[in-house]
Amino acid sequence: MKLLRELFQVYNFRPEDFKEIQELKKFFNSEQIAKIGKELKAEVIDKFPEYKNLLKNRGVNNELFAETISDFFNSIFEAESLTVTTSTIIKTHKNWNIKSLDFIEVYFSFSEKILSILYDISSKHPELIKNIRKLTRLLFIIAVYFLRSSCKTNAEQTITAADPMTGLPSRYNIQKIFPECVNKDSLFAVVFDIRGFANINTYFGYEVGDSVIIYFATFLKETFLEEFCKGYPNIFRLQGDQFFVLIKGTQEKVEEKVKRFLEKIKGKPIKIPLEGDRHTLDIILISVGTNVNVCQDISNLLWILENSLREFKKTQKDGFFFIDETIKERCQRRKENVALVIKAIKENRVTFAFQKIIDLYSGDIFAYEVLARIKTKDGKLIPAGVFIDDISFYSLDGDLDKIVIEEAIKYKAKTGMKERLSINISNALLEGNVDLLERVTRENGVPPKEIIIELMERQNLTLISHLKEKIAYLKKLGFKIFIDDFGVDYANFHLIETLAIDGIKIDGRFVRNIDKKILDREFVEFVLSVARQLKVAVVAEYIENQQILKIIKDLAKDFNVLGQGYLFGKPEVKE
């Protein structure tokens, strides 16, 4: 009983809301509710024939079933009555061994029938819509209550930091018991992720989102639940829409079991009442697994699982994937690089180098590109190319940008440099700290017109909120805007057509072999022709020798192209 009252508070369903939905009760009569009861009993027998004998043995005929539905319907409109009735239903289900997922399917069918009647009536009484939507919210709150009540584990009383929604132990509990409870030889760890879960909350509301989480947790328990160690189950809730399951067996058996589970849940979507109709909500899952012996500790294991999941989500919509050695090595490298950058930032070991960007026809220095570097404790320099893609997963590149921007612009002001600086800006900085550029140039007395901002196209610029407005703001201040890495990953010509940019940098992989690969030459020539039409500057990266330089000049013809590469000088570290 306490749980339902708590849910009323969590979802802000107030006593006055109950008073308002009571107005809807008068639109129903006993014959309608009795009819719904008979239809639901027929649905139970049709979908779940295993309950036919149970109902018969318990003496539940059509009339008694309909009477039970009527009692439940009448209780919905009054908080205390609803609390007592729902508690009785939960106890009955436990005594009769009724599966919660079977019950919730019938419950949503009941809700859909009630709401359908009301929405039909609302066509003539539109003033009812507000209260119908309140009743819909209440029906979902009741669904959350039913699912949560059935979702508790036997071990819940012994678990500290248990997830309050599902009753499952949390990430903290995995870390607590893992070292002493894991037999690593025949144990696999699997992470399940509900795809698009944020959209469920956005489109349908948090009551529906919570219903989906608990529904899925219940499904996991019915398939995988067993006591693991010290009273803990083998299923944990990692965060939001992610769950962690430990499964014993060979790799083949584990894979078979997980794939069978995915097929089962695909065949049982959650059917929710929405706007007077029943909406089928598919739960789309992507999951990854590995033997737990790949790591010495749980932190590394979770890192590999969660980062592998990120990798697979780039290319896969759903399914189950075992993590191979390549993925493990990539995840391990990413972890090491993230640790490297965090430590370098903390210990003030971030510096920068300048590399010339040359006007290919006059030979003058057009600008210096500012390149991030990390100094190791023994004085070696690590270029950004080693770690930049790895840290962008965690928006650490924004922190790195801030340091490099501040230090490079201070250096320019202190030394009186007249040449422009061309600075890479990550999505992370543009998303949350775009004012930094204006502040740093103003504080150091550097005109924004002497700063080129390079947007890194490999990070998918379209994900930046209000991108056009941010670029317009920076250009109004006087900054020049170039797109870096053009032609790689997310690059597309629509961007340079729709964004008010000043230049593009052709990614070096199309330039370095232009003397050997005809397709690279064709691509560069096409980019130059588009840039000529749009009247934007072009920088060709990776000009390493005279032959490449000659080809670029020949392709450009009368178009003034800029160049960058070892032919003009290697990056030089500035202190």
Query: In the 8-state DSSP scheme, what is residue 487?
Result: T
pLDDT for position 418: 92
CB 298 within 8 A of CB 272: no
Alpha helices by DSSP H, 347-392: 388-392
Instruction: Copy the structure tokens of residue 149.
Output: 């009540």
Q: What are phi and psi of 506, to 5 degrees?
A: -70, 125
pLDDT for position 67: 92
pLDDT tens series, the chain, 575 aa: 678 888 888 888 999 999 999 999 999 999 999 999 999 999 999 988 999 899 988 989 888 999 999 999 999 999 999 999 999 998 898 889 888 888 888 998 898 899 889 988 988 888 999 999 899 889 988 988 888 776 554 444 444 557 777 878 888 888 777 777 666 668 899 999 999 888 888 888 787 888 888 889 888 988 998 877 777 788 999 988 999 999 988 999 999 999 999 998 988 887 776 665 667 888 899 999 998 877 767 878 888 898 889 888 878 889 999 988 777 777 778 888 888 999 999 999 999 999 999 999 899 999 999 999 999 988 899 998 888 877 876 778 888 999 999 999 999 999 999 999 999 998 888 887 888 999 999 999 999 999 999 987 666 777 788 888 999 999 999 999 999 888 765 446 777 777 889 999 998 989 999 999 999 999 999 999 988 988 999 999 999 999 999 999 999 988 889 999 999 999 998 76
Domains 1-150 and 337-574 share a fold: no
Instruction: Copy the structure tokens of residue 129.
Output: 């819509």
Alpha helices by DSSP H, 154-205: 171-181, 197-204
Instruction: Copy the structure tokens of residue 159.
Output: 């678990």
CB 234 within 8 A of CB 247: yes
pTM, two decimals, is 0.65
Return the bridge partners of 400, or none. none
- Count of C-beta atoms within a 10 Å radius of residue 123: 9
Alpha-carbon distance 456 to 461, whole Å? 7
| 1-150 placed in CATH 1.10.3470 | no
Domain spans in the chain, listed from the N-terminal domain onward: 1-150, 152-323, 337-574
pLDDT for position 156: 44
pLDDT for position 157: 41
Instruction: Copy the structure tokens of residue 562.
Output: 């800029």
**Top-tier CATH class for 337-574:** alpha beta
Find the angle CA(567)-CA(570)-CA(571) to the nearest 5 degrees. Answer: 145
Minimal CA–CA distance to 250: which of 190, 192, 291, 302? 291
**Domain with residues 152-323, CATH architecture:** 2-Layer Sandwich (3.30)
